[in-house]
Structure 1
């Protein structure tokens, strides 16, 4: 059963089609499939897979110190457990839309779930750092495919009039999973074993694959255009170079030759990718989707939200564990209320979108996000945990209200034939903006902390206690302890000062996003998002 598409988007009858392939922007909509069950059931299956793949990004960060201890790795080397995953994602995501068209979206999704479960099992069995890095790359390949094909399937199986509610449920994987990660990961690392953060994906992946076989509609494959190898090499090299430079910038130095060369090379490769995609007959990703301003605007807003979300998710646990003496699990528990708020707001925001459109949920949500971030500028070493929880929950409410209407409005502005490519761009922006934003935040924090410690060091050297002579007399020991206490207090003060400045900048960025949100239409874009259920 299908919903009739607008006249300008209907595919011509088979007998009337010209033998030549149509331009990418005017490609016919995917054929209607035979439904194998209610769309809500199919959506739940997709949410489970999406949740698992996104959760793995944040949950692993909590286990990095435990892995470092077990593998005897340096701080620089152990970071490649996370860096290798991000780099592999940047390479595979652009090809995911083509893969879904080639073998069928449901087949791509099922195989990706099985592959992700297998890669997770290998990560849990890793015996040293090199094997862990290799297995993380293998895990990232299906992990990058899952979000793209899942989002494409959502827009094929859900009726147009319910797409907002459906995306509200789907958003549980995109936004709530990263917020839950520190809590679940902290518990497993602190009370069980860090390897369980990988092994837990195995039964979830297997059950999800079985459910997908039984409950998801079938989408015909074999209709993909010829693989655009030059375009793939250009975007893969560009994203790899940029992500590597941003991941290693703090270690290598932001003005070092390797980082500058990678940034320049990556930018040139992405520019070359745009040129290639505009010239070839069968582009890997149709960059012409950016002519739809609601879609382009949504990507700008998604990037700002991702930067703010992941920046706070990274630095708040650092603040709690290093300067307030909390364990990994306890700091995760403190972050849990914000995840609960987002879990409640996501479906509600979807229903609001279905009724009122995207503009006002986005404007109100981003305003709340900006205000909540601005209130975080007052965090000190003495800030109570209850106060911090309320601030984070308040801010999370704004993110939960704004995210899905923005994403849904953007994707709904794209014709159905371009949904797969648009969803790939959507996931690329989410992944790269969070990585780039966090790298920029880290660079700013590092510079401010270095300057602050230099100023504090000069002050302490001029006014702090001094010891003369050798020995360990009681007076000398007391002086050393006092110096240590002063140093710890100074380090904490410098961190919170830099963090407060960072929150002011992020709040300003969120306020700018409110202006872009005002450009969103008050009604849903017409002509996209029709229900298309697949062909076996």
Structure 2
């Protein structure tokens, strides 16, 4: 009985023991509620409508800044005529813009963090519109070059800031679809530039290609103020002066050497010195960024192989895209006598194909990851470029149009998954630096690839002319022969007017015949060299197919909010 009583007392004690926690529980419950307010901003950014609207605002600015690169190239001949300058002088309209971009792009990530991404984007849009207006008002070649530099500064900031904002506003599981829309500015804008530029130059006035940016910039800035988050920037990070000077000098030297190598000579002392200075400065930049506490660009992002691999593939795609966009219009206008606007119309279908496929490629990326769209897209691009190796003087325009559209399928499928997969592999806090490296790679690879392809085209063309019988030396001899024949006819014609006139006519006819033969040989040599160029580009793209096999397969890991939360 004592044992039972003790057990009952123990049971009673046990039953009563939980009572005190019930008394304390109400006191602890008020501590839990503060958690829900923290994620409250996430639904507005994670929901479909807000980030799509914000993305459209970003695409508008991105489209405008990238379009200006290709649309201006169409207007170069008209500018040259109006300003009355040489070809070397007018080329500085494009060269100055590229050099200024190379200097400002590395600092864009720091500017975005300092001002705040939204504010930097708005300021850049307004400044780009103002710079465009000044370019449209240029009165001579010197003023145009200065205004193009002023235009390039915000033009280099916009892509870096816009790409960083995409990754801060869009949920990670929807980043592929978002980048598919964002890619319209990167690929579709350069492709549609020749058509729009050709129409404005041929039927209106070349100055309109600059003035058209003014209303777009104003509307885009107003929309950004209304729809984009505009947080204050971070004031803590110091400006990395040594890093900026080293990378700006390096990129400036390389771009200048590549821009002027054809006219100065690729083995000339100025070009060789520029290449040496560029390489040394870029190496110094890496050393500085690894040592300073607050680097301008974190070069440690290259330890992520997925990101490094994506930059290599972006370089391959940039060479393929801008190489064809440059040489095919040249082929159509110089060899087949097509006008600027007609050339743009022939190139327009490929731009439309890329524009349609960009969003599709984004959805494919979200579901399957970057590997398969990149492999398939690069394979199509390599095959399509290989098909261009058979271009001839009398090639059909319809056949060329379909080949370009076939290539555009590959470009549309591959570009955005490669870029998105690379930047997604970088930690969220390093996205701004990664996007800056991304834009530097696009600009530099396009310039370097175009310069290298141009040099190869020139050497192959000269070799082809030499192989076809030394046609390069035909014109002087033909001209000299015609002149001597005309002189002989004139002297002999002093006594016989009709005979002299017949001799002069025969000499003129012979000279024209030799000139036509030379023109035909030159056109054939250009086409043959262009065919060789397409073979080289297709092989380079095929190497990219192998590298694409190492990209990630499968969808990106899901997250409940934006890829990077805006501070």
CA–CA distance in 2 between the matches of 1:388 and 1:98? 44
CA–CA distance in 2 between the matches of 1:293 and 1:46? 28
2:226 alignment partner, one of 214, 221, 225: 214
Tell me what 1:381 maps to: 393
For the 8 Å contact 2:366–2:556, the answer to whether it is kept is no
Tell me what 2:449 maps to: 437
The alpha-carbon deviation at position 118 of structure 1 amounts to 0.1
Tell me what 1:199 maps to: 211
The alpha-carbon deviation at position 473 of structure 1 amounts to 3.1
2:533 alignment partner, one of 491, 494, 502: 502
2:108 alignment partner, one of 89, 96, 109: 96
Tell me what 2:6 maps to: none
The alpha-carbon deviation at position 449 of structure 1 amounts to 1.7
2:59 alignment partner, one of 24, 47, 61: 47
For the 8 Å contact 1:54–1:173, the answer to whether it is kept is yes
**1:188-267 equivalence runs, <5 A:** 188-223=200-235, 225-267=237-279
Change in CA separation of 1:418 and 1:532 when aligned onto 2, cut-off 3 Å: closer
CA–CA distance in 1 between the matches of 2:222 and 2:464? 55
For the 8 Å contact 1:102–1:221, the answer to whether it is kept is yes
Length, aligned pairs only: 505
**1:84-483 equivalence runs, <5 A:** 84-223=96-235, 225-456=237-468, 458=470, 469-470=485-486, 471=489, 473-483=504-514
For the 8 Å contact 1:218–1:534, the answer to whether it is kept is no
Change in CA separation of 1:525 and 1:127 when aligned onto 2, cut-off 3 Å: same
For residues 340-361 of structure 1, the C-alpha deviation after alignment (integer angstroms, 9 at most, x for no partner) is 0000110000000011111110
CA–CA distance in 2 between the matches of 1:439 and 1:43? 34
The alpha-carbon deviation at position 405 of structure 1 amounts to 0.4
TM-score (norm 2): 0.86
The alpha-carbon deviation at position 488 of structure 1 amounts to 1.1
Could you say what the CA RMSD is over the residues aligned between the two structures, in angstroms?
2.0
Point out where structure 2 has 5 or more consecutive residues left out of the alignment: 1-40, 490-502
For residues 254-290 of structure 1, the C-alpha deviation after alignment (integer angstroms, 9 at most, x for no partner) is 0000000000000000000000000000000000000
Q: Bigger shift: 475-484 or 274-283?
A: 475-484
Tell me what 2:23 maps to: none
CA–CA distance in 1 between the matches of 2:308 and 2:100? 25
For the 8 Å contact 1:98–1:224, the answer to whether it is kept is no
The alpha-carbon deviation at position 34 of structure 1 amounts to 7.3
For the 8 Å contact 1:238–1:268, the answer to whether it is kept is yes
Query: Rg larger in 1 or in 2?
Result: 2
Q: Bigger shift: 354-363 or 454-463?
A: 454-463
CA–CA distance in 2 between the matches of 1:34 and 1:119? 35
TM-score (norm 1): 0.91
Point out where structure 1 has 5 or more consecutive residues left out of the alignment: 1-30
CA–CA distance in 2 between the matches of 1:131 and 1:427? 27
Change in CA separation of 1:480 and 1:283 when aligned onto 2, cut-off 3 Å: same
The alpha-carbon deviation at position 217 of structure 1 amounts to 1.7
CA–CA distance in 2 between the matches of 1:450 and 1:326? 24
The alpha-carbon deviation at position 161 of structure 1 amounts to 1.0
**1:507-526 equivalence runs, <5 A:** 507-526=538-557
For the 8 Å contact 2:80–2:86, the answer to whether it is kept is yes
Structure 1 residue 490 corresponds to structure 2 residue 521: yes
The alpha-carbon deviation at position 224 of structure 1 amounts to 5.1
Change in CA separation of 1:288 and 1:526 when aligned onto 2, cut-off 3 Å: farther
SS at match of 2:85: coil
Tell me what 1:6 maps to: none
Change in CA separation of 1:460 and 1:62 when aligned onto 2, cut-off 3 Å: closer
CA–CA distance in 1 between the matches of 2:144 and 2:260? 19
Structure 1 residue 69 corresponds to structure 2 residue 69: no
For the 8 Å contact 1:415–1:527, the answer to whether it is kept is no
Change in CA separation of 1:169 and 1:401 when aligned onto 2, cut-off 3 Å: same
The alpha-carbon deviation at position 457 of structure 1 amounts to 5.2
The alpha-carbon deviation at position 454 of structure 1 amounts to 3.2
For the 8 Å contact 2:42–2:562, the answer to whether it is kept is no
For residues 489-525 of structure 1, the C-alpha deviation after alignment (integer angstroms, 9 at most, x for no partner) is 1111010011000000000000000000001111245
For the 8 Å contact 1:103–1:222, the answer to whether it is kept is yes
Change in CA separation of 1:461 and 1:270 when aligned onto 2, cut-off 3 Å: closer
The alpha-carbon deviation at position 243 of structure 1 amounts to 0.2
For residues 213-267 of structure 1, the C-alpha deviation after alignment (integer angstroms, 9 at most, x for no partner) is 0111223312451111000000000000000000000010000000000000000
Instruction: Determine which structure has greater relative contact order: mean sequence separation of CA pairs < 8 Å that are 6+ residues apart, divided by chain length.
Output: 1
For residues 366-403 of structure 1, the C-alpha deviation after alignment (integer angstroms, 9 at most, x for no partner) is 00000000000000001011000001110011011000
Q: Bigger shift: 457-466 or 512-521?
A: 457-466
SS at match of 1:473: helix
For the 8 Å contact 2:471–2:521, the answer to whether it is kept is no
Tell me what 1:15 maps to: none
